[in-house]
Amino acid sequence: MRLFVTGIGTEVGKTVVSAILTEALQADYWKPVQAGDLDYSDTHKVKDMVSNSKSVFHDESFAFNHPMSPHAAAERDGVEISLGEFKIPETENHMIIEGAGGVMVPLNSKDCIIDLIKDLGVEVVLVSRNYLGSINHTLLSVEALVSRGISIKGVIFNDVENVDTESVILRMTGLKCLGRVEMEEDLTQEVISNYASKFREVL
C-alpha cells in the first residue's frame, strides 16, 4: 500500500497523521520535499513519534534551507524541481508519503503537489482541520484531486469534532471518514501508538 498524505492547507496536521499511519502499517516513510527546518525536519519528527522497528525513513528528494513554498525555496537555493527526479524509494514494505502544504502548492513554474501525486500514481489520504473556511478548502481539494483521476482513500479530521462541518463535507464528497485526531498536548510514542491501533482497522 502506498498512501500520499496531503492536506487542505498548511499546518493542518499532515505530519502527525503521517506518523500515525506509518505506525499503524509499520510502513516506510518518505517526504519528497522538505523546505526549511532541516535540523529537525518532518522526517525527524515522524521518526521520533514512531515506535516500531520495521519502518525505514527515506531521504528527501529535495531539501531546501528556507521555510517557504517549494518552488520559491528551490529558487533561493539555486535548484529547479523536476517531476522526473521524484522516484518512490524501493521497498517491499508499505509506504507513507507526506506532501508539502496543500495540493496546489507549486513545485516549479508549472507543476504542483497534485501533479506529483498523479505522477507517482498513489492513493491519497486527505487531512482536514476544522476552522472557518475549511469546508471550502476541503471541497476544493477533493474536486481538484477527482478532476485528475486521483483516488482518495478517505479523509481524516484533525481537531475537536464539528458535526456541522464534517457531515456536510462527507455528504458532498462521498468520502469515507478514516478517523479523527484530537488536539493532543503531547504527541508521545504512546499517544501515536494508541491512534495507530484505531486506524489499523480501517486501512
Catalytic residues: 31
CA distances from 32 to 55, 131, 133, 189 (A): 17, 27, 28, 24
Instruction: Provide the edge-to-edge strand list for the sheet that holds 152-158.
Output: 57-58, 28-30, 95-102, 2-7, 123-129, 152-158, 177-181
Q: Is 113 helix (H, G, I), strand (E, B) or coil?
A: helix
Candidates 148, 138, 78, 76; CA nearest to 112 is 148
Single-letter code of the amino acid located at 142 = V
First to last CA, the chain: 9
- Find all residues with CB under 8 Å of 96, minimum gap 6, and list them: 3, 5, 18, 21, 22, 25, 27, 28, 29, 30
Query: Rounded to an integer, what distance in angstroms lies between the CA atom of residue 86 and that of residue 52?
Result: 27
Query: Rounded to an integer, what distance in angstroms lies between the CA atom of residue 196 and that of residue 152?
Result: 20
